[in-house]
């Protein structure tokens, strides 16, 4: 497997943990990874981006060149579109449908959804599914589930990584995130049939 | 590349900062010191979490005290790491530069994280200049594996040449993750006080002698760098007259694009400084044009290009083809190599609103800023100096409540200066940790002259922006500290700031702004992120 993935969202949504979990899953498959992230000032409620590069052998740059990501994984639709020029022309756009619209000039959400669809993108009701799993905070893991179907990552490996990533927060948090992962996978599956 | 397939199994995914921390621990440090600063913070966080018993690991009040403590460890013959962001080295510059003259005992390594692109900083300064200025060795990793290995190596170099060694990181090394394989650790060495204390007493008669020693050692350092396996020269049969010099992460962006180039330039990669001059000359013999990919300032470029005409075309950042500011990216490097852009998706008319960072919901600073705006609002003669921290976001809408943010602690002295110049009321707004870092000394100046100004300390009981590290002194110690400096008790107030008490703080500010002398108000309430972390049982 070789994939460059841009994770886009907002500080506090769990962009970095989603990227870290997928990176660990790749490592457990014997793949090489490079992941970048931003900390500090940018994390305070601003736009947050992480990139993850996965390959069977050496990866050169930490950064994904424009026009070469296989996937943009958005935890918020405007944030996903922000990085559209990183996508390879036939790449995958997968994003949570739920807007975080607490800023001036936020476009009508219908327009944003339309834009995502016109680019062949997948809109996932991540917030609803996360709540169904037990916590709105698990939306990042819902999205990871959806992405994992499209990226063909073995679900058992990712499931184990999710378990390990949340183990310190207790069994309940682990169970919620496992369920969020399952619901995310199910959300994308019909579209693929 | 350092990631060899067979090693992947044993490897862990580590952040560059984590790799540095483990490298230092495995090199047998007796102590590590740091002040939080993006992108260096995770070095100390990792040491605190991973260091074996007996290793001293401390957040300090600022980078200068961190450096001096590490220097003391070195004089006692033991290894010490000191970690900071690039601008922190300005604060530590005094001990840093002078420590190059003393005969370092236990290895002393200063890990400095530069922030090209200014992701979370006020400038793009390049620490390689400071290493050069201090006349010491510098190592610059190109990935996390090298970050681990070079940290260990830096201690050996420090002890071999009796100088501190600077490990230069950049954001994309510090805050990127990749697979790292560690090597068996060394135990911390015993206490062994340096033999010649005269080498540590920089009175002029000694200083002249040790300065000559440092100057004399430059040839040895140069020889070390020429021979270092961190500097690799590849002479190509098919370079078409082009030589490429890369440093640190610049190599990765270059290699990313190399397959599309159609030929293979001759290539010198630099990971160890001083710049290996002989290797540069060997490269130059083969080529007509030299293209340089280095993160930060055009440091190597300037040391090669000079001012006199040469037969070589030296290309880099001044005047181009690369921009002088911002980070290198695979895209800017691609353009500089003369390659066409990769095809990409463009969406016509897609106008997305910017999403700048903002204070967390429920942040105590929100209440303080509302009080400040109500107290100062509309007064054209007033000035509100501020400082480094989350509260710098008070410069942005919806507040636009502060008028300066320059460097740690600057607000206090700047308010005093503005007051002297005739702006009244003059206010300084600073966080508790920044105040302890560099605000105490200018407050002593203000006490000495009873300067007509009002200092508002936003005490959120943590170092907020860098991820809620503990402040070195608890907030409850601020009031006695400030009273002890001599601030008049009548004009020193502590207020627990809540949304309901915005009016009270407003009134207090108004009264103290009217007072023709120094006043200090401490607005206390814990950072909401710090509270969340505690409830989660540690940082996530
Ligand atoms: S991290 Fe703390 S101090 Fe910073 S904005 Fe959030 S609540 Fe405020």
In which domain, by residue range, is A118 found?
Answer: 3-188
Q: Are residues B375 and B295 in the same domain?
A: no
Which residues in B350-397 belong to E strands, given as ranges? 383-385
In a domain, residue B1? The reply is no
Alpha-carbon span A111 to A96, nearest angstrom: 15
Q: Is residue A99 part of a domain?
A: yes
> Looking at the structure, do residues B89 and B50 belong to the same domain, yes or no?
yes
Per-residue pLDDT averaged across B142-156, rounded?
A: 98
- Mean pLDDT of all residues in B192-216: 95
Residues of the domain holding B406: 364-535
Number of folded domains that form chain A: 1
Same domain? For B197 and B71 the reply is yes
Q: Grade residue A149 by pLDDT with cuts at 50, 70 and 90.
A: very high
How many beta carbons lie within 10 A of that of residue B279, not counting itself?
Answer: 20
Task: Note whether A85 contacts B256, CB cutoff 8 Å.
Answer: no
- For testing contact with chain B, the best of A9, A24, A37, A39 (most B CBs within 10 A): A39
Which of B467, B528, B534 for a ligand 1 pocket mutation test, highest count of atoms within 8 Å of Cβ? B528
| Cβ(B265)–Cβ(B139) below 8 Å | no
Is B353 inside a domain boundary? no
DSSP B125-156: --HHHHHHHHT-EEE--SSHHHHHHHHHHHHH
Does the beta carbon of B527 sit less than 6 angstroms from any atom of ligand 1? yes
Strands (E), B10-79: 12-15, 31-34, 56-59
Q: Greater confidence, A21 or B380?
A: A21
Is B221 inside a domain boundary? Answer: no
A6, A103, A105, B158, B533 from A3: Cα distances, Å: 10, 32, 33, 41, 33
Chain B positions in Cβ-Cβ contact with residue A36 (cut-off 8 Å): 172, 175-177
Point out the domain boundary residue: B167, B186, B216.
B216
A193 inside domain? no
Instruction: Determine whether the interchain pair B255/A60 forms a contact, defined as Cβ–Cβ distance below 8 Å.
Output: yes
Domain boundary among B285, B319, B336: B336
Cβ atoms within 10 Å of B354's Cβ, excluding its own? 10
Q: Which residues of A touch B353 (CB under 8 A)?
A: 78, 103-107
pLDDT of B226 strictly over 80: yes
Provide, rounded to the nearest whole percent, the portion of chain B with pLDDT above 90.
87
pLDDT at position A40, please? 61
Is the domain of B318 the same as that of B373? Answer: no
- With an 8 Å Cβ cutoff, are B119 and A38 in contact? yes
Query: How many structural domains compose chain B?
Result: 3
Q: What pLDDT, on a 0 to 100 scale, did the predictor assign at position B4? A: 38
User: Is residue A39's pLDDT more than 80?
Assistant: no
User: Is B96 part of any domain?
Assistant: yes
Distance from the B431 Cα atom to the nearest Cα atom in chain A, whole angstroms: 15
Q: Which two tokens stand for residue B517?
A: 């002398």
- Atom of ligand 1 lying closest to residue B393 CA: 5
Residues A48-93 pLDDT 10s: 999 999 999 999 999 999 999 999 999 999 999 999 999 999 999 9
Q: Which of B525, B527, B530, B540 to mutate to test the pocket of ligand 1 (most atoms within 8 A of CB)?
A: B527
Q: How confident is the model at residue B365 (pLDDT cuts 50, 70, 90)?
A: very high
Distance from CA of B323 to the nearest CA of A (A): 17
Whether the CB of B460 sits within 6 Å of ligand 1: yes
Which atom, in ligand 1's list, is nearest to the CA of B366?
8
Sheet of B289-293: strand order equals: B232-234, B266-270, B242-247, B289-293, B313-315
Tokens linked to B218 = 């430059």
Q: Are residues B83 and B212 in the same domain?
A: yes
What local confidence, expressed as pLDDT, does residue B441 receive? 98
Whether residue B115 sits in one domain with residue B185: yes
For residues B208 and B291, state if they share a domain. no
Residue B38, domain CATH: 3.40.50.970
Residue A55 lies in a domain: yes
* B177, B345, B356 ranked by CB distance to A119: nearest: B345
Nearest-CA residue of chain A relative to B330? A65
Q: What is the CATH number of the domain that holds A159?
A: 3.40.920.10
Query: Whose CA is closest to atom 2 on ligand 1?
Result: B527
CA dist., res. B430 & res. B454, Å (int): 11
Q: Determine, yes or no, domain membership for A86.
A: yes
Q: What is the pLDDT of residues B406-442, one digit of tens each?
A: 999 999 999 999 999 999 999 999 999 999 999 999 9
Tell me whether residues A84 and B177 touch, CB distance under 8 A: no
| Residues B327 and B459 grouped into a single domain | no
Find the CATH number of the domain harbouring B263: 3.40.50.920
User: What's the gap in Å between A16 CA and the centre of ligand 1?
Assistant: 19
From CA B483, how far away is CA B151, in angstroms rounded? 43
Q: Is A128 within a domain? A: yes
Task: Give me chain B's average pLDDT, please.
Answer: 94
How far is it, in rounded angstroms, from Cα A59 to Cα B74? 38
Write out chain B residues lying below 8 Å of A67, CB-based: 341-345
Q: Where are the alpha helices (DSSP H) in chain A?
A: 15-28, 77-82, 109-118, 126-133, 139-151, 155-166, 171-192
For residue B364, give the ligand 1 atom closest to its CA.
8
Predicted pLDDT of residue B5: 39
Report the interhelical angle of A139-151 vs A171-192 (nearest 10°): 40
Same domain, yes or no: B402 and B291: no
Whether residue A11 is predicted with pLDDT greater than 90 in this model: the reply is no
Report pTM.
0.95
Backbone angles phi, psi at B294, to 5 degrees: -135, 140
Task: Return the closest-CA partner of residue A50 out of A111, A1, A95, A8.
Answer: A8
Examine residue B358 and state whether it is found in any structural domain, yes or no. no
Is B202 within the bounds of a domain? Answer: yes
Residue B340 makes CB contacts below 8 A (sequence gap 6+) with none
Both tokens of B423, joined, read 């702006």
The distance of B199 to chain A (nearest Cα, Å) reads: 40
Mean pLDDT, chain A, rounded, equals: 93
With respect to residue B2, please indicate whether it lies within any of the assigned structural domains: no
Q: Do both B138 and B191 map to the same domain? A: yes
| Nearest-CA residue for atom 5 of ligand 1 | B359
- Same domain flag for B206 and B248: no
The sign of the dihedral angle between the CA atoms of B177, B179, B185, B186 is: negative
- Beta-carbon count within 10 A of B367 CB: 20
Q: What are the tens digits of pLDDT across the range B276-332?
A: 999 999 999 999 999 999 999 999 999 999 788 889 999 999 888 999 999 999 999
Measured between CA atoms, the residue of chain B closest to residue A23 is: B13
């Amino acid at each position: 497997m070789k994939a460059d993935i841009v994770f886009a969202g907002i500080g506090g949504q769990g962009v970095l943990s989603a990227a870290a979990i997928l990176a660990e899953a790749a490592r457990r498959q014997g793949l090489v990874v490079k992941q970048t992230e931003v900390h500090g000032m940018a994390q305070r409620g601003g736009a947050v981006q992480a990139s993850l590069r996965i390959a069977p052998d050496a990866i050169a740059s930490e950064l994904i060149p424009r026009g070469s990501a296989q996937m943009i994984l958005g935890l918020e639709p405007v944030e996903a579109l922000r990085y559209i020029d990183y996508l390879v022309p036939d790449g995958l756009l997968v994003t949570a449908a739920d807007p975080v619209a607490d800023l001036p000039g936020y476009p009508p959400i219908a327009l944003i959804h339309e834009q995502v669809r016109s680019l062949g993108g997948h809109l996932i009701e991540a917030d609803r599914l996360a709540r169904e799993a037990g916590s709105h905070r698990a939306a990042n893991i819902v999205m990871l589930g959806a992405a994992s179907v499209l990226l063909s990552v073995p679900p058992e490996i990712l499931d184990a990584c999710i378990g390990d990533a949340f183990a310190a927060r207790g069994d309940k948090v682990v169970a919620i995130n496992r369920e969020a992962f399952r619901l995310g996978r199910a959300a994308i599956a019909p579209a693929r049939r | 590349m350092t990631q060899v397939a067979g090693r992947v199994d044993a490897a862990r995914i580590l952040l560059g900062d984590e790799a540095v921390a483990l490298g230092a621990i495995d090199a047998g440090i007796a102590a590590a010191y740091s002040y939080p600063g993006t992108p260096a913070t995770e070095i100390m966080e990792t040491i605190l979490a991973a260091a074996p018993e007996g290793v001293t690991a401390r957040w300090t009040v600022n980078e200068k005290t961190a450096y001096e403590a590490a220097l003391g460890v070195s004089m006692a013959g033991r290894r010490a790491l000191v970690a900071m962001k690039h601008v922190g080295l300005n604060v530590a510059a005094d001990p840093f530069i002078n420590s190059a003259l003393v005969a370092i005992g236990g290895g002393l390594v200063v890990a400095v994280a530069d922030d090209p692109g200014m992701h979370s900083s006020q400038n793009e300064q390049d620490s390689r200049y400071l290493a050069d200025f201090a006349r010491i060795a510098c190592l610059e990793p190109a990935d996390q594996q090298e970050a681990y290995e070079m940290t260990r190596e830096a201690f050996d170099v420090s002890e071999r040449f009796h100088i501190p060694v600077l490990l230069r990181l950049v954001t994309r090394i510090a805050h990127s993750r990749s697979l790292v394989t560690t090597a068996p650790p060394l135990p911390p060495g015993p206490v062994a006080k340096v033999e010649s204390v005269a080498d540590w007493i920089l009175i002029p008669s000694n200083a002249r002698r040790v300065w000559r020693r440092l100057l004399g050692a430059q040839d040895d350092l140069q020889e070390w760098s020429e021979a270092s396996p961190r500097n690799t020269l590849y002479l190509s049969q098919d370079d078409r007259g082009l030589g490429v010099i890369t440093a640190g992460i610049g190599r990765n962006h270059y290699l990313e694009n190399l397959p599309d180039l159609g030929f293979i330039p001759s290539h010198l990669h630099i990971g160890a400084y001083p710049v290996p001059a002989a290797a540069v000359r060997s490269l130059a013999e083969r080529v007509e044009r030299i293209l340089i990919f280095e993160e930060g300032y055009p440091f190597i470029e300037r040391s090669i290009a000079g001012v006199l005409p040469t037969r070589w075309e030296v290309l880099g950042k001044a005047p181009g083809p690369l921009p002088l500011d911002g980070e290198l990216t695979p895209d800017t490097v691609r353009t500089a190599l003369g390659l066409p852009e990769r095809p990409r998706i463009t969406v016509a008319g897609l106008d997305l609103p910017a999403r700048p960072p903002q204070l967390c919901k429920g942040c105590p600073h929100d209440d303080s800023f509302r009080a400040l705006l109500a107290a100062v609002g509309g007064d054209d003669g007033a000035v509100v100096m501020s400082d480094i921290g989350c509260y710098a976001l008070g410069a942005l809408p919806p507040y636009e409540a502060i008028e300066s943010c320059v460097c740690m602690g600057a607000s206090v002295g700047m308010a005093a200066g503005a007051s002297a110049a005739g702006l009244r009321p003059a206010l300084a707004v600073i966080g508790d940790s920044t105040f302890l870092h560099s605000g105490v000394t200018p407050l002593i100046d203000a006490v000495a002259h009873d300067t007509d100004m009002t200092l508002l300390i936003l005490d959120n009981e943590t170092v907020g922006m860098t991820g809620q590290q503990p402040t070195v002194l608890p907030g409850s110690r601020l009031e006695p500290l400030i009273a002890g400096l001599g601030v008049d008790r009548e004009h020193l107030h502590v207020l627990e700031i809540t949304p309901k008490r915005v009016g009270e703080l407003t009134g207090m500010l108004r009264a103290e702004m009217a007072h023709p002398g120094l006043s200090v108000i401490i607005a206390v309430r814990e950072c909401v992120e710090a509270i969340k972390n505690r409830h989660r049982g540690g940082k996530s």
